[in-house]
Amino acid sequence: MPLSKMFSTLCVMVWLVVLNTPVQAEDAHSYARIKQVSTPHMELDLTVDFDDRKLRGHVTYKLARHDTSTQLYLDTNELVIHKAELLIDEQWQPTKFTMGDIHPSLGRELIVDIGPSAAQVRIHYETVPTASGLQWLTPEQTAGKEHPFMFSQSQPIHARSWIPIQDSPALRLTYNATIRTPEGLLAVMSANNSLSDERPGEYHFSMPQPIPAYLIAIAVGDLVVQEISDNVAVFAERYIVADAAWEFADTPAMITATEEMYGPYRWDRYDLLILPPSFPFGGMENPRLSFITPTVVAGDRSLINLIAHELAHSWSGNLVTNASWRDLWINEGFTSYVENRIMEALFGRERAVMEQALGYQDLRDDMARLPAKDTVLNIELGRRHPDDVFSQVPYVKGQLFLMYLEEKFGREEFDVFLRKYFADFAFQSISTEQFKHYLKRELLDKKPLLVSMDKVNEWIHQPGLPDDAPRPTSDAFIKVEQQMQRWLKGGQLATDAWTTHEWLHFINNLPLDISAQNMARLDQEFQLTQSQNSEIAHAWLKLSIIKNYEPARERLREYLLSIGRNKLVSPLYRELAKTPDNLKWARQVYEQAKAGYHPLTQTVAESLLYANQ
């Protein structure tokens, strides 16, 4: 072999060794032993039973054997396993399976005998009505009131409550699915969704790009579809589909802007699914079909940074994924950074900085209430449920870390680095250690005096924020603060040109000793209690609890009863739980609201309202 060729082969080998550095630690949140046997492809066949609130059917896996193990380890949680089979000589034959003990956050390990040579395994099973990853809504709990609705939320470790699966983000798999629903309802998945008007009750899906288990998603309901462009459409209940298509009309431009910065969009279509109000998150980045809360359909496109966020995951997260939930910041920190860059590209620097500043304030609030150990990016989770330590830390602290690197190396250089990072690790799952190794080689070592590895380690492994962390300051917000000072002394507010962001900053920074008179004055002039912008209403209602501002109480009740998004309702319950009278009132409202909340929101709210019982 000529020397030049040998050299390039050597380079490729070195390269492979670097890229394939095994994940440093096993995933503490999965029983799967993917280094022994893994499952690179899944065929799902499920029937959706709304009467019994169950999915029934089977899952078939192709097996990739990496050693001589004769057992396959899968994650389950509350699943009823009926039968396991192996494909031997093209015939399905029963095989033995056993189940481990129940762990409160991990669920239960399922061990299937796969013998020495079978290439496929099939498991027949059904879910239970309390499956943590599914929410079943009665017709009354939907906007249309006529048909039921069901949707999944698999991240972080809930896929195992509706599929027996190797539920670690370190593993990627492709899938096909056949889903049967009651006639007239539409099923959609994180896969190729048809734009057809027909509702035959049997749907076929294919996801040809390998994704981790937490991105497998399904929703079934009385959905219609409206196209925004050739490759973007909105799926939603009829009442909101046109409003959502208007609200999110900038999505195609967001895709173009992101491609220009970070390389091609690799998932073909990008559609949005608008969920009922009980959806517990702002959005979930299910590939090809982001799941979106209706609370961001504000009527003025003021909250569409959420779409930028979910879209950004098509690069950071879905394309390059965290290898374990300790590494979540690799998903969310990069995504918050990219989200903000998309907003800047489309709407300019001022709006982007306002959004940075709002995020920074949320981070400071979270850091003030969290134990120091949970303000570390590469968090020590042990076997705690990742949902229990959810905070702004992986999001905003991660974003600030990348903003810090951008400041130090310059935007041009940092963009080149990020673009290459997304290409080099495309369709892989990486650990914090792998990232650090790559960062050192591809960025730090190229200009050794700019950022030391000690500094990187401080960002990633120490609590709180480094002293020299970026502190986003918005000129527009400074003007808001100046106006506030004049207003508190009896002056007038000039709010005609204020955006939602400026209102949020204003309300969030009102002094806590604001007089009852001033609360009433503000409300009369600007109808804040009646604001239909979910974020502005949230900020105002939170202040109204602190101030015991009675005129907002009925609206607060209505808000808590009509929205199930955890970020919007839990802080209100947290505030209410601080005084005995409010706590009593909050428990009454919660008992009424509970049926409309997702299990995740229920868990968080109950931890706030019933913690000391």
Question: 60 by DSSP, 3-state: which?
Answer: strand
SS3 338: helix
Residue 175 known to be catalytic: no
Minimum separation from the CB atom of position 309 to Zn ion (A)? 6
Please, which residue, 39 or 305, has the CB nearer to Zn ion? 305
* CB nearer to Zn ion: pick between 330 and 560: 330
- Give the full edge-to-edge strand order of the sheet including 173-180: 91-95, 80-88, 120-126, 54-65, 37-49, 173-180, 202-211
Residue 267 or 409 with smaller CB distance to Zn ion = 267
Q: Which listed residue (85, 126, 310, 535) is catalytic?
A: 310
Name which of 494, 201, 198, 499 is nearest 358 in CA terms. Answer: 499
Site string for Zn ion, 437-476 (x = CB under 5 A): ----------------------------------------
Residue at 341: amino acid letter: R
Smallest distance, Zn ion to C-beta of residue 279, A: 14
* Residue 1, token pair as written in the block: 């072999």
Q: What is the 3-state secondary structure (H, E, C) of 266-281?
A: CCCCCEEEECCCCCCC
**Total number of residues binding Zn ion (CB under 5 A)?**
2
Query: 333 or 564: whose CB is closer to Zn ion?
Result: 333
Stretch touching Zn ion by CB under 5 A, among 98-106, 174-182, 326-334, 603-611: 326-334
Binding mask of the shown chain, residues 280 to 319, with x at each position contacting Zn ion by CB under 5 A: ----------------------------------------
Distances (CA, A) of 123 to 42, 57, 60: 11, 8, 6
Q: How far is the CB of 465 from Zn ion (least distance, A)?
A: 20
CB of 443 to Zn ion, least distance (A): 23
Nearest residue to the partner Zn ion, using Cβ: 335
CA dihedral 497, 246, 139, 162 (to 10 degrees): -100
**Owner of token pair 């879905």:** 318
Residue type, 307: I
Longest CA–CA separation in the chain, Å: 86
CB of 446 to Zn ion, least distance (A): 29
Residue 321 near Zn ion by CB under 5 A: no
Residue 481 burial (10 A CB sphere; 0-12, 13-18, 19+): exposed
Cβ proximity to Zn ion: between 57 and 394 the closer is 394
Comparison of 190 and 335: residue with beta carbon closer to Zn ion: 335
Burial of 402 (0-12, 13-18, 19+ CB in 10 A): buried
3-state SS string for 286-324? CCCEEEECHHHCCCCCCCCHHHHHHHHCCCECCCEEECC
Strand pairing category for 120-126 and 232-237: unpaired
Q: How many CA atoms lie within 13 A of 463 on its CB side?
A: 11
- Binding part of the chain for Zn ion, among 89-97, 191-199, 324-332, 410-418 by CB under 5 A, reads 324-332
Build a one-symbol-per-residue string for 329-358: x at contacts with Zn ion by CB under 5 A, - elsewhere: ---x--x-----------------------
Task: Record the tokens describing residue 429, joined without a space.
Answer: 């799952």
The encoded tokens of residue 69 equal: 């193990």
Q: Which residues contact 179 (CB under 8 A, 6 or more apart)?
A: 44, 46, 47, 48, 187, 189, 202, 203, 204, 205, 218, 220
Closest approach of Zn ion to the CB of residue 335, in Å: 5
Nearer to Zn ion, 108 or 313 (CB): 313
Of 352 and 545, nearer to Zn ion (C-beta) is 352
> Residue 75 or residue 332: which is nearer to Zn ion going by CB?
332
Of these residues, 395, 421, 438, 573, which one is catalytic? 395
Distance, CA of 278 to CA of 281 (rounded, Å): 9
Q: Cα separation of 168 and 166, whole Å?
A: 6
Q: Please give the backbone phi and psi of residue 437, each rounded to the nearest 5 degrees, phi first.
A: -60, -45
Q: How far is the CB of 285 from Zn ion (least distance, A)?
A: 6
**Is there a catalytic annotation at residue 573?**
no
Q: How far is the CB of 567 from Zn ion (least distance, A)?
A: 12
Question: What DSSP letter does each residue of 556-571 carry, written as one string?
Answer: HHHHHHH---HHHHHH
- Smallest distance from Zn ion to CB 284, Å: 8
β-sheet bridge partners, residue 37: 65
Please report, as ranges, the residues that interact with Zn ion according to CB under 5 A.
Answer: 332, 335
- Which residues are the active-site residues? 310, 395
